Amino acid sequence: MAYRLDIKEKKKGTYMIIENKYWDKKKKASVTEHYKTLGYLHELQKGHLDPIAHFRKVVEQMNEAQKAQSKLTVTINMSEELPQDTHSRFNLGYAVVLKIYHELELDRFFNNKARHEPFKYNTNSIMTLLVITRILHPASKKSSYEYRDMFFERFDFELYDVYRALSHFSKIGVQCQQFLSSQIFSKYGRNTSLMYFDVTNIYFEIDTADNLRKRGKEKNNRPDPIVQIALAMDADGIPLYYKQFPGNTHDSKTFIPVFNEVCVKFTPGRVIAVADMGCTSADNIYYLKGGDRDKRKNGYVFSFSVRKGSDALKQYVLNEDGYTDKDGKPLEEGKGYDYKIKSRIEVRQIKITMKSGSKKTMLIDEKQVVSWSKKYALKAQAEREECIQRAHEIIADPKKYNKDTVHGSAAYIKNIAYSKKTGDIIEDIAKKLEFDKEKADEDAKYDGYYCIITSELDMPAQRVTEIYSGLSDIEDNFKVAKSNLDIRPVYVSREERIDAHILTCFISLVIIRLIQKKTGYRFTPQQITACLNNISCSLEYENTYLFDYRSIISDEFSKAFDIDFSKKRLPLNKIKNILANSKTT
C-alpha cells in the first residue's frame, strides 16, 4: 500500500487529491482509491507558498509512517527463562475450518436451536471446538476440551458442559443434516441424481453388548460390540445423510430406512441408488422400482456376485461372444488384453418379502453389465491363494483357530463346524476336515470378472461402470472418518452421546470434502489436515506472533479462502481480523 499525490487540470484550475494505491487479492490487480481531497491550487496557495511541494512532503511522510508501522525493533535477552506452565504456541490453520463452518451458517443453526433451551452454555461454541479438534486433533471429548488453548478462540465453558451438550446435539441431529444439505445445495451446488450408499461399523472396547452396541460382523473381524453406520453421499462425493443401526443389523436392512428418509427429508426427485452387493437384495430392488415390473420410480446400480449367480449368468460371463475393449471395439482373436466388457438386458426372477412375511415371486427387467480386468483377476487370485494356504493350516491344526479367525478360508474346508458356546472348530472323527478343491477350482474360473446390475436399461455399459466406480468415494469417506477423524473406537457410552459423536464426525467430514471441492480436489484429506495443523505460530514478543510454515497447499488455501498465510510475523490485531473475517458470510 502506498500514498501518492494526484494533480489534475480542470476548468477552474489545478486540482489536487491524495490517492491510496494497493494490490487487490480478489481482483489480482493494482487498485487506486481516493483517500483525501485537497482542493484547487489557487485556494491552497492562501495557506502555503508552494502547495505542491508541501503536500508532496506530506505524502512522503505518510508513506514513511506506513513503513514504520510494519517494522518492530526487539531487544532479546538470551538468558531469559521460560516461566513454568508457559503456553505460547497457537494454531491459525483452523481459520479455514471456521470459514466453511460459517459459510454453512452452522453457527446460526446451533444458536437458533438453543434459543429456547433451559441450559446456559453456548452449544455453538462447543460444536465449533469439537469440529475443529476432530479435524485437526481427533481424540476424546476430554482431550478436545484440554486442547482448546491451542486456538485464539475464547471457549467459555466447562468440560461437563461438553458432555451435557451431546444430548442436545443428538436431539437435533437429523435437523442438522437437513439444514446442512440445504446450505450445501444453495451455496456450493448439490447433485442428488445419484445417491451412493454404503455401510460401515464402529467398535466399542466393552465386554457386554446392549440394545445398540451389539456383536456383529466387524469390518476388521474384531470381536467387540459394534454400531452399524449407513452413509448416503451425493454425486459429487459430499456426504448427504447418515443413520445408525444396532450392530447385528445386516447391510441390506439399512438401505430402505436411509433411502426413504433421504427422499422424504431432502426431496431430491428421482434418484439412482448406487451400492455394493451387500445391499443387492430383492426387497431393496422392489422398493426402488416402486412395486411393479414396469415402474421406474427410482433406479439402481448395484454390484452382483457372479459366483453366487445363476448357471445362465455364469455361462454368459464365461462366453467370449460380445465382449469389447474399453473403447467399444470388438476383441481381436489371439491378441492379449487387460480389460473387456459386455452387457445385455435380461428378465430376472426375484423373491420379495410381503408384509405378512411370506415370499412372492416377481419378474424384473434389468441390464447386466459384465467386465473383466487383468488387474482385478491377479488380485482375486492372490487373495484366494492366501485363503487356500490358511485353509490347509486350519485342517492341519484346527485348535489354533476359531470362528473369528478362519475368515474366508472356511469356504474351502469341507465339514467345518463351530461350537455354539466358544466358537472353536469342532473336531469330529466321523467328519474330518477336508480341503474343497472343487470349490477352489470353480471360484478360479471367475477371477477378474465383475457384474453390475441396473434398472437403467438405456444407459450405456461404460456409463454404468463409470457411475459404479464413484462408490470408491464413499469408501474414501469412511476411510477419512476412521483414520483422519478417528471415529472409532468411541469413548462415550450413552446412545444419545454416541449419536452426537457421529454427528460431529459427519459435520467434520462434510467440511473436509468442501475444502477439497474449493481447492479443486487437488489435495487428500491427509494433506489438508497436516497443512492446517502446520499453520501455527509462537508468541515472539508481546502481541507479535512468529509463523514457521508455508507450502504450496497453504498458498492454495490463501487463494481459495482469501486468508493470507504467507506472512512470517503477524500482530495479534491482524490475527483477530483474519478470524473475524472467517466468520463473516
pLDDT value at residue 541: 82
Single out the residue in 490, 514, 542 at which a domain terminates. 490
pLDDT value at residue 567: 93
Are 512 and 582 in the same domain?
yes
Instruction: Give CA–CA dist 446/309, Å, rounded.
Output: 11
**Number of C-alpha atoms within 13 angstroms, CB side, residue 552?**
3
In a domain, 123, yes or no: yes
Name the grid cell of 103: 459459510
In a domain, 464, yes or no: yes
Name the grid cell of 486: 478417528
In a domain, 437, yes or no: no
Name the grid cell of 401: 483357530
DSSP state of 567: -
Single out the residue in 457, 490, 523 at which a domain terminates. 490
Are 482 and 505 in the same domain?
no
DSSP state of 243: E
Are 184 and 254 in the same domain?
yes
In a domain, 261, yes or no: yes
Are 191 and 318 in the same domain?
yes
In a domain, 573, yes or no: yes
pLDDT value at residue 395: 92
Contact 484, 512 (CB under 8 A): yes
**Stated pTM of the model:** 0.76
Are 235 and 285 in the same domain?
yes
In a domain, 459, yes or no: yes
pLDDT value at residue 218: 44
Name 501's Cβ contacts closer than 8 Å, sequence gap at least 6: 166, 487, 490, 492
Total domains, the chain: 3
Coil/strand/helix, residue 330 = strand
pLDDT value at residue 486: 54
Range of the domain at 6: 2-69
Count CB atoms within 10 A of the CB of residue 509: 25
Are 277 and 320 in the same domain?
yes
Are 180 and 157 in the same domain?
no
Sites in the chain below the pLDDT cut of 50: 206, 214-215, 218, 220, 488-489
Are 197 and 144 in the same domain?
no
Are 209 and 304 in the same domain?
yes
Closest CA to 230 of 166, 279, 190: 279
Instruction: Give CA–CA dist 469/452, Å, rounded.
Output: 11
In a domain, 382, yes or no: no
Instruction: Give CA–CA dist 168/123, Å, rounded.
Output: 8
In a domain, 28, yes or no: yes
Are 127 and 224 in the same domain?
no
Are 469 and 354 in the same domain?
yes
Residue 210 sits in a domain whose CATH number is: 3.90.350.10
Single out the residue in 474, 490, 506 at which a domain terminates. 490
- The pairing of beta strand 272-275 with beta strand 299-304: parallel
Are 262 and 349 in the same domain?
yes
